[in-house]
Amino acid sequence: MKKLHYCSNCGEKNSFGRKDGNIRYYCLKCETIHYQNPKPTATLICTKNDEILLVKRAFNPGKGEWSLPGGFLELGETLEEGAERELKEETNLNGKVVKLIGNCSYFNSIFGDILLLGLEVKVDDWKDLVAGDDALDAKLFKVNKCPKLVFECHQKIFDMYIKNKI
């Protein structure tokens, strides 16, 4: 996460230390806290009978590896809008968010703190399934025989989904 060296409120140099019980950037003069928030992502679980949709990543991190579809939310986008957009971009499918499965947080050296929000998405029509421009492949795997997922948080969200289905 990029440091904010000067206060956005008064222009004084920010300090880094304990404020309100947390380690934060804040201004010693006016006490404005400069929050460093995680980047939210929509991480999708899309199933068809006993199969789950996975995408083979076209870019790093994890290029060439299998993951759940999804990605970062855009400014002004709701979680549901972001999930449905990412599904279309990566797989050419249309879907509707059914429910929140769970979440997972981790630090990535490229993007900083990331908050993955796992969502179950219902797809009614699978005939247009094809990898989008940021995926090398997109296909359905038997839930009990899918390849290893490249990201630990994707595996955790997958496991949450399976646990709730049993």
pLDDT of residue 2: 62
Mean pLDDT rounded to a whole number for the chain: 93
Residues 6+ apart with CB under 8 A from 152: 104, 106
Farthest CA pair distance, the chain: 60
The segment(s) of the chain belonging to CATH 3.90.79.10 are 39-164
User: Which residue bears the tokens 């969502």?
Assistant: 119
pLDDT digit string (tens) for 16-75?
888 888 888 899 999 999 888 899 999 999 999 999 999 999 998 899 999 999 999 999
The two structure tokens encoding residue 73: 């939310």
> Do 87 and 121 contact (CB within 8 A), yes or no?
yes
What is the spatial distance between Cα 79 and Cα 101, in angstroms, rounded to a whole number? 13
The highest-level CATH class for domain 1-36 is: mainly beta
The segment(s) of the chain belonging to CATH 2.20.70 are 1-36
The two structure tokens encoding residue 132: 């989008």
Q: What is the pTM of this model?
A: 0.86
Is the pLDDT at 1 greater than 60? The verdict is no
Q: What are phi and psi of 77, to 5 degrees?
A: -95, 140
Residue-wise over 52-72: b if at least 16 C-beta within 10 A, else e?
Answer: bbbbbbbeeeeeebbbbbbbe
CATH superfamily of 39-164: Nucleoside Triphosphate Pyrophosphohydrolase (3.90.79.10)
What is the spatial distance between Cα 138 and Cα 78, in angstroms, rounded to a whole number? 24
Is the pLDDT at 162 greater than 90? The verdict is yes
pLDDT digit string (tens) for 104-118?
999 887 788 999 999
Q: How many residues does the chain have?
A: 166
